Structure 1
């Protein structure tokens, strides 16, 4: 019973440990920042990876859950992929895309742009909307009509009803597309492009070569079946072409996999930094024990137990680790937020990163503080006092 009540209480132990940490001065700050940097790196990397995964999910929703993209490669230069026959029931619509690079001129401004040619079915596949004017229809196929992307129209200072020059032809702008945003599944950013009927591409001097088809599945819940059916159908229809059908989910799963690999590598680097921070704590505590041998000897001579000495130094290392972990969490969250904003993502908080970062810091503080604490506890009073 007396043994249980003997020795300092936890409040006294913590106050003594806190006072000792304050006396460490610059060394305490160096150890604290070592832990903080490692913890910050770990928290930041986990939140960056989590934000990337959330961004990929949002991007998938933005791509269109029923979108299929088909890349065609002609095995024979004379091969013509159009027209196609009746579509499979699982496919709602298919539209071709042909591309060319041309100079567009208006009001003394000349810009090299991507020109995309397609049919009216494109608007059944992609959710393209107009901010001015109207979309293209089948009646525009043999008329020099074009749509301008939102960014391109702003740069050219052109609106609906005006004319632009492409090559040697003047084209009437029948509409300006609303801002669409970048779709990584498509080989063109419609915000910066000119869109015209596929047949109008002949006016640019070359026959339109359709290298891409975009399709919409009838049911977004069975995309894999739709992709398989579309691929079989196109291989039968376009025997002189190599057909590759891509799903947004497949592309984003690949992106997410690459993101996880990179996050794992960066988290491993962060773990090494955290480990080095723990080594810094141990170095500080070893020097602390060496410089306080006389104090340890006095405490032991006055009746302090070995475990009281061990707890004194162990609590000091834990206080350094706690302070470093809290600072590291704040720095890591700030770093993850800044990175997400800088690349245009929305910041998504990974709750698991907080206990993992703090817990790792505490475990390392306990692990690396144990050896100096045990070394201090094993000192003999006479040997410790004799060093003075």
Structure 2
């Protein structure tokens, strides 16, 4: 029995690595293609996951327990007390009326969105105040106002900062500033931009704009509620209170599910694009291995003459292809992770590394190396010893 017949896998691997060293620059070029392909897969999967997480955070930031009700026809009023009695699953109910007005503060005039609502709006929309307070149920007939963060900055552009206690002229009425909201992102589900709005008690909307009617209702559910089931109950309650009026109810869960499906499709597209570059790297590996076999025919013939079996030759060259792609997969994993982290840093996203990208990236790279290395390895194993020894 020859020495080649009793070679261990570790010995074959060592010989494969030695064979790769003899390839010189050709192996480096093939390795570069594999590295870029593997890095593309890992980077694009992570970028897609981080983009989906960032988009999902916008919805979760506004609360998955939020419902927004929109009337097909504006009712004159909504009995929130009666509605709360019918639906104890609701934590807060805040009807909204909107109008566009001109505000004046110390000679500085700006156009803003005027929002009339109840005190429950602060809880329903998770509004946080930088200073002061939100108006209460006892302030419904008072001329009090709460100013959004961005609107407060616009009113302070004249050089005098807007503060709690100052008065703002809204049309022909003076409203005292009760509070200023903290800077926070606007929920995509919400019908208003809180940071650019002026909030006043709902009963005072009639004197500021007689055409402003209640068009939406923002609701927040109690803990651990089935949101689709609660939305159906709200629709039935509104139909009972307002004579079967049709309403449209939006819940964050529906939008999150739709966004998740879109992000999954987006991730598949990115993986397909990265797969193209990975296949191109695999073609480079096959090209290098074919040239390697052409140059080493005499060596193959000598090995066979000394007793090497065809499967030994096949395993040797297949291990060379796998070793080349394994090194490329490792380097590509590092490069892809760094690239995804840098992209998230430039985009202002919170970076999180997806373990699945490592499995898919390195696994697909090794499969590509196996697939494109199989043909050259089988071609080397089919060589006849006599023909191989004739090669000069």
The residue aligned with 2:120 is 121
In structure 2, list runs of 5 or more residues that go unmatched.
Answer: none
Greater mean deviation of Cα atoms: 52-61 or 141-150: 52-61
The residue aligned with 1:271 is 275
Deviation of 1:362 after TM superposition, in Å, equals: 1.1
Q: How does 1:245-264 map to 2 (within 5 A)?
A: 245-264=249-268
Deviation of 1:324 after TM superposition, in Å, equals: 1.4
Structure 1 residues 322, 94: closer, same or farther in 2, change over 3 A? same
Contact 2:314 2:381 in 1 (8 A): yes
The residue aligned with 1:44 is 43
Match of 1:349, SS?
A: coil
Pair 1:311-2:310 in alignment: no
Question: In structure 1, what is the Cα distance between the partners aligned to 2:61 and 2:242?
Answer: 30
Offset from partner CA, 1:244-270 (integer Å, 9 cap, x none):
112221221111121112212222332
The residue aligned with 2:351 is 347
Contact 1:99 1:114 in 2 (8 A): yes
Question: In structure 2, what is the Cα distance between the partners aligned to 1:261 and 1:70?
Answer: 30
Structure 1 residues 228, 50: closer, same or farther in 2, change over 3 A? same
Match of 1:128, SS?
A: coil
Q: How does 1:141-220 map to 2 (within 5 A)?
A: 141-155=140-154, 156=156, 157-167=161-171, 169-202=173-206, 205=209, 207-220=211-224
Match of 2:226, SS?
A: helix
Greater mean deviation of Cα atoms: 256-265 or 202-211: 202-211
2:77 aligns with one of 82, 87, 90: 82
The residue aligned with 2:28 is 29
The residue aligned with 2:135 is 136
Structure 1 residues 334, 104: closer, same or farther in 2, change over 3 A? farther
Contact 2:33 2:281 in 1 (8 A): yes
The residue aligned with 2:340 is 336
The residue aligned with 1:325 is 329
Greater mean deviation of Cα atoms: 13-22 or 351-360: 13-22
Deviation of 1:221 after TM superposition, in Å, equals: 2.3
Question: In structure 1, what is the Cα distance between the partners aligned to 2:285 and 2:361?
Answer: 16
Match of 2:176, SS?
A: strand
Contact 1:129 1:135 in 2 (8 A): no
Q: TM-score if structure 2 supplies the norm length? A: 0.84
Structure 1 residues 377, 190: closer, same or farther in 2, change over 3 A? same
Question: In structure 2, what is the Cα distance between the partners aligned to 1:183 and 1:134?
Answer: 21
In structure 1, list runs of 5 or more residues that go unmatched.
Answer: none
Structure 1 residues 351, 166: closer, same or farther in 2, change over 3 A? same
Pair 1:225-2:229 in alignment: yes
Match of 1:208, SS?
A: coil
Deviation of 1:60 after TM superposition, in Å, equals: 5.4
Contact 2:93 2:121 in 1 (8 A): yes
Structure 1 residues 382, 174: closer, same or farther in 2, change over 3 A? same
Question: In structure 1, what is the Cα distance between the partners aligned to 2:374 and 2:93?
Answer: 68
Question: In structure 2, what is the Cα distance between the partners aligned to 1:215 and 1:231?
Answer: 12
Question: In structure 2, what is the Cα distance between the partners aligned to 1:132 and 1:335?
Answer: 41
Deviation of 1:375 after TM superposition, in Å, equals: 0.9
Question: In structure 1, what is the Cα distance between the partners aligned to 2:343 and 2:8?
Answer: 46
The residue aligned with 2:246 is 242
Deviation of 1:30 after TM superposition, in Å, equals: 2.9
Contact 2:97 2:212 in 1 (8 A): yes
Contact 1:146 1:173 in 2 (8 A): yes
Structure 1 residues 7, 63: closer, same or farther in 2, change over 3 A? same
Question: In structure 2, what is the Cα distance between the partners aligned to 1:112 and 1:31?
Answer: 62
Contact 1:310 1:376 in 2 (8 A): yes
Matched residue pairs, number?
383
CA RMSD, aligned part only? Answer: 3.0
